[in-house]
Amino acid sequence: MNKLAVVALGGNALLRNNEEGTIEQQEQNAADTVENLVHLIKDGYELVITHGNGPQVGNILMRNDAGEKMYSIAPMPLDICVADSQGGIGYMIERILRNVLNKHGIKKNVITMVTLVEVDQNDPAFENPSKRVGKTYNKAEAERLAEEKSWIFKPSTKEKNGFRRVVPSPVPIDIINKETIELLVNNGNIVIAAGGGGIPVYYDEDGNVRTVDAVIDKDRASGLLAKNIGADELYILTDVPFIYKDYGLPTQKKLEFLNYADTLNYLEIGTFAEGTMEPKIKACLEFIKNGGSKSVITEAKKLEDKSFGSKITMNYDQKDIEKQKY
């Protein structure tokens, strides 16, 4: 049986900071990224692909604002916006990947699934919204919207004197579509799922699915999905080739081979940047803790190189490092 891997595409897989975000740019970025996944497919891996949606769902929310203000179009809630981004981004990745597979003579079906992810409605995150979404407002606009819509705002981290809406980011506890995803991938299909961390939902006392205004971290959802479907490996693709200790400081050091205990210690002492590398490390550790054989954090173009990326397993030691070939 082929190995099963969940591959989480970072936000720069489609939309990069210095770009306008045109469809041509996003399609080219998608093609550059998924081209690298061919190396895993040729090595015999079955794949489930997840992806971020931060810039895209932000743009959808801004269209919400513009439509409401200019044309009195009823705005859609956040869960619908996340679903919209899942469908649009998933379609784009699926179409581009089908073309890449065709170029390489690989016959595989690709399926995009809008994915619901269960959260706990009593998660502490709902008492402390922290995830910035949507456009930046000035102070007066933010105060007006806070009054009208009961939104919560925090200062923008990028624009001086600006404010952005913040929403909760609860921990994912279950992938509701996991059985279908597992069935599809075990039958040789490539599945695109849990886009943007999935649509956060919970079950009420009658067992009905209810929505919440929140977003889920894509990497945490990817790690949970990998655990739920019994994946062997988890790949988190980002914009750096390795994990670094003291990143950006004179003491910076590449961390290529890590075991669970050492990685957990690095996490607890604050080695990894909060909000960027930290959630990726947490996702990898949770996956390994629950039986995954290996987690890898690297950039997409490194997948061709068998020595790529930072690798986390349960019990790496120096002897393993010396004898292991990737």
Catalytic residue list = 11-12, 131, 218, 280
Q: How far is residue 148's CA from residue 109's CA, in Å, rounded to a whole number?
A: 47
User: Which amino acid appears at position 245 of this protein?
Assistant: K
Q: How far is residue 299's CA from residue 236's CA, in Å, rounded to a whole number?
A: 8
Write the secondary structure of the chain as one string of H (helix), E (strand) and C (coil): CCCEEEEEECHHHCCCCCCCCCHHHHHHHHHHHHHCCHHHHHCCCEEEEEECCHHHHHHHHHHHHHHHHHHCCCCCCHHHHHHHHHHHHHHHHHHHHHHHHHHCCCCCCEEECCCEEEECCCCHHHHCCCEEEEEEECHHHHHHHHHHHCCEEEECCCCCCCEEEEECCCCEEEECCHHHHHHHHHCCCEEECCHHHCEEEEECCCCCEEECCCCCCHHHHHHHHHHHCCCCEEEEEECCCCEEECCCCCCCEEECEEEHHHHHHHHHCCCCCCCCHHHHHHHHHHHHHCCCCEEEEEEHHHHHCCCCCEEEECCCCHHHHHHCCC
Q: How far is residue 1's CA from residue 54's CA, in Å, rounded to a whole number?
A: 35
